[in-house]
């Protein structure tokens, strides 16, 4: 991911869940074996432990960024060459509002793309 390319450590802030130890444990396991499993393995060595667990009912920004990244990811899968349904039109309209508020170096990672393609937000248009 971006941290691998930039050789920069990453802190994770995540919504509180009932299985926090399991979530951290999975990342720690991948760090121990050297990479994630699957077709496009990823090195998670740059993720600092432990995660910072916050309650999204109190920290509204956490829910907002989660939704913003979800919408950007959804928009990247829309084929604008085809006739758009109302849902796709709504998603693209929302992403047009979100995009200017996201820092230019921000990115959304799409695991099904080539390992060198990170789906940069600025390329969603």
Per-residue pLDDT tens digits for 64-87: 888 888 888 888 888 888 899 999
CA distances from 45 to 28, 33, 50, 88 (A): 9, 10, 13, 36
Percent of the chain with pLDDT over 70: 76
91, pLDDT greater than 90: yes
Judged against a pLDDT cut of 60, whether residue 111 lies above it is answered with no
Cα distance between residue 12 and residue 28, in whole Å: 13
pLDDT band at 99 (very low <50, low <70, confident <90, very high): confident
Highest mean pLDDT among 37-46, 83-92, 93-102: 83-92
Kindly report, residue by residue over 16-31, the tens digit of the pLDDT. 889 999 989 988 888 8
**Total-model pTM:** 0.56
Q: What is the mean pLDDT of residues 36-41?
A: 78
Residue 86 pLDDT: 95
Angstrom distance (rounded) from CA 61 to CA 67: 10
CB 43 within 8 A of CB 34: yes
- Smallest CA-to-CA distance from 108 within 95, 93, 90 is with 95
Q: What is the pLDDT at residue 61? A: 83
Q: What is the DSSP letter of 123?
A: G
Pick from 113, 106, 42: nearest CA to 122:
106
Instruction: Give the three-state DSSP class for 31.
Output: helix
| pLDDT reported for residue 70 | 85
What kind and span of H or E run contains 34? none
């Amino acid at each position: 991911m971006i941290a691998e390319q930039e050789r920069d450590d990453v802190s994770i802030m995540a919504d509180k869940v009932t299985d926090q130890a399991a979530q951290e444990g999975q990342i720690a396991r991948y760090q121990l074996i050297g990479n994630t499993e699957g077709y496009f393995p990823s090195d998670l060595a740059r993720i600092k432990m432990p995660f910072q667990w916050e309650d999204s009912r109190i920290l509204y920004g956490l829910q907002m960024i989660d939704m913003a990244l979800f919408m950007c990811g959804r928009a990247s899968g829309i084929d604008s060459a085809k006739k758009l349904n109302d849902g796709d039109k709504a998603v693209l309209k929302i992403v047009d509002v979100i995009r200017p508020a996201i820092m230019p170096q921000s990115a959304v990672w799409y695991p099904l793309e080539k390992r060198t393609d990170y789906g940069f937000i600025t390329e969603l248009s």
